[in-house]
């Protein structure tokens, strides 16, 4: 039976702890542990070359991970700053967003578009009040497949201009003899930029639509 000295046990404990905590140590801590292990080793039982090479590889790995984390943090900050700058440049501009909501200003028109997969003999845009009642209509008649722009002047079915506010937009077209719905894309002005407290992609505040992410913006004008 092999007898083990207190020094052997201390060395084994130190090596075991170094391996266990490697992921939480930085490069300097790892180097100190290795040097201490080399100083404390038994001259008649030097550290095995294979084990020493393995520890050096771990040191290199720790160093590489630390440097990579630093580089990634810098890259993330740069990307975030670029996103914030891009978002800030949108203030005061109109953006196109897929939505069924439109903001009617005190003066001016509401603009939007639909994308038809097929030609139609009739395309209609309905404007609805918050109650769901149709209070305005934009008949566009026959249209070819593709993008079709439309504009509502704010005048309701009663012939009077509707008060400023948010209205629901609904688009329907005839596909043969079947009436089908199609999604709408609306234009509205960017009022401000909001940075989430938890970080992440900046949000733009669009009139009548609220908070919109950069990825939701289809077009800028």
Cα 33 from Cα 185, distance rounded (Å): 63
> Can you read off the two tokens belonging to residue 155?
């005048």
Do both 122 and 171 map to the same domain?
yes
Do both 119 and 148 map to the same domain?
yes
Q: Has residue 177 been placed in a domain? A: yes
Name the residue with higher pLDDT: 171 or 216: 171
Q: Has residue 219 been placed in a domain? A: yes
Q: Has residue 107 been placed in a domain? A: yes
Q: What value does the mean pLDDT of the chain take?
A: 78
H-run or E-run covering 29: helix 27-40
- The CATH number linked to 207 is 2.30.30
The pTM of the whole model exceeds 0.75: no
Q: Is 106 left (phi over 0), alpha (psi -120 to 50) or beta?
A: alpha
- pLDDT for 113-138, tens place per residue? 999 999 999 999 999 998 899 999 99
Do both 214 and 109 map to the same domain?
no
Do both 91 and 197 map to the same domain?
yes
Q: Dihedral sign, CA of 209, 213, 215, 221? A: positive
Give me the pLDDT at residue 170, please: 97
Do both 116 and 142 map to the same domain?
yes
Do both 133 and 26 map to the same domain?
no
**Which are the contacts of 15, defined by CB distance < 8 A and separation ≥ 6?**
37
Domain range spanning residue 206?
82-97+188-221
Domain count, the chain: 3
pLDDT for 25 beyond 60: no
pLDDT for 217 beyond 80: yes
DSSP for 37-55 reads HHHHSBTTBPPPHHHHHHH
Give me the pLDDT at residue 122, please: 97
Q: Has residue 194 been placed in a domain? A: yes
Do both 120 and 141 map to the same domain?
yes
Do both 107 and 166 map to the same domain?
yes
Q: Has residue 118 been placed in a domain? A: yes
Give me the pLDDT at residue 88, please: 76
Q: Has residue 73 been placed in a domain? A: no
Burial class, 109, CB count within 10 angstroms (exposed 0-12 / middle 13-18 / buried 19+): middle
> Can you read off the two tokens belonging to residue 86?
């891009």
Q: Has residue 74 been placed in a domain? A: no
Q: Has residue 143 been placed in a domain? A: yes
DSSP for 106-135 reads SSS-EEEEEEESS-EEEEEEEEE-TTS-EE
Do both 212 and 153 map to the same domain?
no
- The CATH number linked to 152 is 2.60.40.4070
pLDDT-derived band at 1, boundaries 50, 70, 90 = very low
Cα 17 from Cα 25, distance rounded (Å): 11
Do both 106 and 172 map to the same domain?
yes
pLDDT for 47 beyond 80: no
Do both 159 and 118 map to the same domain?
yes
Report whether 148 contacts 140 (CB < 8 A): yes
Name the residue with higher pLDDT: 17 or 106: 106
Do both 167 and 105 map to the same domain?
yes
């Amino acid at each position: 039976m092999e007898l083990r000295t207190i020094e052997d046990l201390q060395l084994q404990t130190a090596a075991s702890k170094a391996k266990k905590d490697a992921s939480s140590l930085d490069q300097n801590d790892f180097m100190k542990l290795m040097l201490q292990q080399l100083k404390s080793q038994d001259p008649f039982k030097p550290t095995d070359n294979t084990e020493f090479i393995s520890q050096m590889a771990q040191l290199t790995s720790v160093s590489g991970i630390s440097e990579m984390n630093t580089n990634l943090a810098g890259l993330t900050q740069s990307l975030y700053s670029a996103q914030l700058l891009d978002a800030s440049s949108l203030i005061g501009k109109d953006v196109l967003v897929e939505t069924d909501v439109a903001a009617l200003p005190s003066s001016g028109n509401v603009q939007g578009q639909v994308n038809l997969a097929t030609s139609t003999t009739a395309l209609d845009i309905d404007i609805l009040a918050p109650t769901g009642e149709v209070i305005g209509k934009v008949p566009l008649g026959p249209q070819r497949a593709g993008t079709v722009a439309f504009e509502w002047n704010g005048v309701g079915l009663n012939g009077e201009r509707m008060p400023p506010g948010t209205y629901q937009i609904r688009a329907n077209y005839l596909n043969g003899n079947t009436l089908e719905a199609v999604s709408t894309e609306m234009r509205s002005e960017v009022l401000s930029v909001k940075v989430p407290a938890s970080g992440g992609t900046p949000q733009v505040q669009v009139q009548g639509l609220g908070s919109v992410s950069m990825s939701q913006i289809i077009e800028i004008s």
